A and B are shown apart, each in its own frame.
Chain A
């Protein structure tokens, strides 16, 4: 069965600073990997996804993530954080077969941005 760990519950960064949110997964085969963002009181919005191919994937809002199979990681990065990036971020893993197995989500990382 798949599992996802987001080691950081809460991260605070200064506006303009770089950001890296960690995500480690457990799955025996090639996974489907996703990052979602959630603003307070809203649903989740897909930032980016990895299925295969290039291990560095670009997403919306200037985010990128790198799939590292050797480390079972899929960390999310942004070179310069904006105040509007303050939100909850969720990493998710899916079985790379028929898609019948529901996605497994991490517990989330809350990002705070200070001036």
Chain B
């Protein structure tokens, strides 16, 4: 069982609000990822990190930002939420020590009104 957590699981928020989606893993994985996924659709990689103080943009342009100050924590922030940000956000992690198996969190369902 993977130990990767996301909070909140569901969030409804008004336009213009600043939000932070939390992601934590207790497996000591160096690589972490954020994906955006609309219901029943494909995954889009929006951010990833190779380790502490490393962040990279993914394939899909996103107005969100991320930080990686601690190995276990990889939060995603939206400075000003818009209805177009409504989606599911999935966090994942992997490492060489776990044969590069990628583990996913349960996701955060974000609705911006």
CB of A44 within 8 A of CB of B48, answer: no
B62-113 with Cβ < 8 A to chain A: 88, 90, 92, 94-96, 99-107, 109
CB of B106 within 8 A of CB of A43, answer: yes
How many of chain A's residues have a CB under 8 angstroms from any CB in B?
Answer: 26
B24-39 with Cβ < 8 A to chain A: 31, 33, 39
Given contacts A88-B40, A105-B42, contact A100 B31 (CB under 8 A): yes
CB of A43 within 8 A of CB of B42, answer: no
The segment out of A15-23, A45-53, A66-74, A78-86 that lies at the interface is A45-53
How many A-B pairs fall under 8 Å by CB? 55
B107 CB to closest chain A CB (Å) equals 5
Instruction: Give A11 to B99 CA distance when docked, in angstroms.
Output: 31
Instruction: Give A51 to B48 CA distance when docked, in angstroms.
Output: 23
| Interface residue? A89 (CB, 8 A) | no
Partner of B48, one of A90, A102, A108: A102
How many of chain B's residues have a CB under 8 angstroms from any CB in A?
Answer: 28
> Inside 8 A of B106's CB, which chain A residues have their CB?
42-43
A108 CB to closest chain B CB (Å) equals 6
B residues near A, CB below 8 A?
Answer: 6, 31, 33, 39-43, 45, 48, 50, 58, 88, 90, 92, 94-96, 99-107, 109
User: 19 interchain pairs (CB within 8 A)?
Assistant: A36-B104, A40-B39, A41-B88, A42-B106, A42-B107, A43-B104, A43-B105, A46-B101, A51-B100, A99-B31, A99-B94, A99-B95, A100-B31, A102-B45, A102-B48, A102-B58, A103-B102, A107-B42, A110-B40
A residues near B, CB below 8 A?
Answer: 32, 34, 36, 40-46, 49, 51, 88, 90, 92, 94, 98-100, 102-103, 105-108, 110
